[in-house]
Amino acid sequence: MGNWFVVIVLLFAALATGGLIVNWIGLGRAMSRLSVSAYIEFDQHTNRTFDPYMPIVVIGALAGGAALAVIYGVHSVPGQLAAAGAVFYALVIIIAVSTNVRINHQIASWSIQNPPRDWAQMRARWIRFHVIRTLFSVPAFVVYVLAAMSNTSR
């Protein structure tokens, strides 16, 4: 595989990590300041945008990193870096599916006029786990870049 494959993997990783960071720094911070009705409505609309997009780029980043580890050789430094990044993206997926996605599905059914009593705790839990998965995605992207830069078998 040529350099084009590495570029595609890095693009998926950049989109995945970038999407998570934008959501944390931009949307998440703004959402934490909204009233309950505004929060529910905004969250329901943004999830329709992010839900189809994020799995594609995060799974693409994970699969691409695993492929790079095999292509580079799992016993080489670039291969081990790529494998480490894939593990980090796997953790992002595990965290997302076990917490954030479940919360998103619950919020999708909430009524703006009649929110659950624990809506603020659910919002705080979503934000907490979103920050954690974002913090796993940053080193994933960094080690992918390092793997590509340290590959000397070009």
Q: Mind listing the pLDDT tens digit for each residue in 63-90?
A: 999 999 999 999 999 999 999 999 999 9
Q: pLDDT category, 1, cuts 50, 70, 90?
A: low
Q: Mind listing the pLDDT tens digit for each residue in 21-49?
A: 998 998 877 888 888 999 999 989 988 88
The answer, as to whether pTM is greater than 0.75, is: yes
The CA-atom distances, in angstroms, between 28 and each of 22, 62, 65, 151 are 8, 24, 27, 36
Q: Mind listing the pLDDT tens digit for each residue in 95-134?
A: 999 999 999 999 999 999 999 999 999 999 999 999 999 9
